Amino acid sequence: MKVGIIGLPQSGKTTLFRALLHGAHEGAVPGVAGAHHGTIAVPDSRFDYLVNLYHPKKATPATVEFIDGAAHISTERHKPAFGTDFFQGIRQVDALVHVIDAFSGTVDPLQAARRVDEELLLADLMMVEGRIERLEKTLRARKDALPERAEHELLVQVKQLLEGETPLRLASLTPDQEKMLRSFNFMTLKPIVVVANVDEARLQSGEQVSELEAYCREQGERFVQLCAEIEWEITQLSPEEEPEFLQAMGIEEPARLRVVHEVYDALGYITFFTFNENEVRAWTLPRGSTALDAAGRIHSDMARGFIRAEVLSWAQMEQYGSWENAKHAGAIRLEHKEYVVQDGDVIFVRFKV
């Protein structure tokens, strides 16, 4: 899963990026000037439980890749702030984290949010207009081009929404429509987590940037309030120092974890687990995926030769303590291809090649 960090200049993007990485390696993004990326393990206590239980040779958590600096806003006087290539580096991401300066007092957070959202709308609008134009050319030449006609019809609706300043994530699209739009990588269709980057005083008083939060909810955006600098400082602490510092700051859990969870949740992703003596592994799937999809994630052979999936729900894993105990109790289910995987399922695929 890829997440692009965006926001106006000097809003704290890189500070948050470094906090999110928590010391993980960062590297340059090939082909995108000034962009950096890094990958972290998704914190998950269920995964930790399985690793402690089975002591596998290898533990492979679910991961998130963050990309910083790919959407560069120019501050040069004679250049447009948002160039035409503004979104190129983050077209392919699954979700956006939008960092807003709510610490310096020099920026109106609500206005900053609107400004960037407007650009996202415009980027999509330009995309739609270009495609509509090309489709109309085709349709003039060939009136019987049915798929093109259907696409044209949908894009005209999409254009109307965008012109009315409705982000596409608020449009109630059918699964078919969503599929048709997927290849466009529309920016306003991507889930967004807005991060209000507040100063230390605001963090400690707990006072909310409530106007901004209300706006975000209206736009179908997630909202997290944190202080990027403090989040970064937390990552510099030893494991012994961390709880003490969090308590002193009145922070329950580091907000970088909340950002990750919000992204996961906004994407509608679920996690399932597999294990054997070699490896415990967490896998990510879109909600609604089937046992066959899960098998395909693990290995294409497993999907091809799928027989049944042995499934243990996480609630039952907790109840019985281990797969083996659950097996003795007859709690392991045999599921068909069409079974809809639930968050936390532990799965063992039976297949033949």
Ligand X SMILES: Nc1nc2c(ncn2[C@@H]2O[C@H](COP(=O)(O)OP(=O)(O)OP(=O)(O)O)[C@@H](O)[C@H]2O)c(=O)[nH]1
> What are residue 68's DSSP bridge partners?
5, 36
Output 20 or 155, the one with its CB closest to ligand X: 20
| Cβ nearer to Mg ion, comparing 119 with 335 | 119
Binding residue (CB under 6 A) for ligand X from 148, 199, 242, 293: 199
As a whole number of angstroms, the distance between CA 126 and CA 5 comes to 22
- Among the listed ranges 41-49, 140-148, 157-165, 227-235, the one in contact with ligand X (CB under 6 A) is 227-235
Q: Is 204 in the site for Mg ion (CB under 5 A)?
A: no
In 3-state terms, what secondary structure has residue 10? Answer: coil
Minimum CB–partner distance for residue 12 and ligand X (Å): 3
For the CB of residue 344, give the shortest distance to ligand X in the complex, in Å: 34
The residues with which 335 forms a beta bridge, in sequence order, are 309
Any long-range contacts for 26-35 (C-beta under 8 Å, 24+ apart)? 29/67, 29/70, 29/89, 32/70, 32/88, 32/89, 33/72, 34/69, 34/70, 34/72, 35/67, 35/68, 35/69, 35/70, 35/89
Binding of ligand X by 22 (CB under 6 A): no
Q: Tell me if 227 contacts ligand X by CB under 6 A.
A: yes
Binding mask 11-30 for Mg ion (x = CB under 5 A): --xx----------------
Which of the listed partners (Mg ion, ligand X, none) does 103 bind, with a CB threshold of 5 to 8 Å by partner kind? ligand X
Could you tell me which stretch among 132-140, 184-192, 221-229, 260-268 binds ligand X (CB under 6 A)? 221-229
**Closest among 43, 41, 1, 46 to 344, alpha carbons compared:** 46
User: To the nearest whole angstrom, how small is the minimum distance from the Cβ of residue 69 to Mg ion?
Assistant: 5
Comparing every residue's Cβ against Mg ion, the nearest one is: 14
Output the smallest distance, CB 246 to Mg ion, in A. 26
Of 149 and 202, the one with the shorter C-beta distance to ligand X is 202
User: Using CA atoms, how far apart are residues 267 and 264, in angstroms rounded to an integer?
Assistant: 5
How many binding residues for ligand X (CB under 6 A)?
A: 15
The residue with tokens 């963090």 is 203
Backbone φ, ψ for residue 216 (5° rounding): -60, -45
- Rounded Cα distance between 145 and 137, Å, is 11
The rounded distance, in Å, linking the Cα atoms of 274 and 92 is 28
- 62 to 121, contacts with ligand X by CB under 6 A? 69, 103
Choose the binding region for ligand X from 43-51, 130-138, 222-230, 329-337 (rule: CB under 6 A): 222-230
CA dihedral for 33, 39, 43, 47, sign (positive or negative): positive
What minimum distance in Å lies between the beta carbon of 99 and Mg ion? 9
Interface pick for ligand X out of 3, 15, 181, 209 (rule CB under 6 A) = 15
Decide whether 196 or 317 has the Cβ nearer to ligand X: 196
Q: Are strands 58-60 and 63-68 parallel, antiparallel or unpaired?
A: unpaired
Please enumerate in sequence order all residues whose Cβ is within 8 A of that of 86, keeping only pairs 6 or more positions apart, or say none: 71, 72, 73, 119, 123
Q: Which residues bind ligand X (CB under 6 A)?
A: 7, 9-15, 69, 103, 197, 199, 227-229
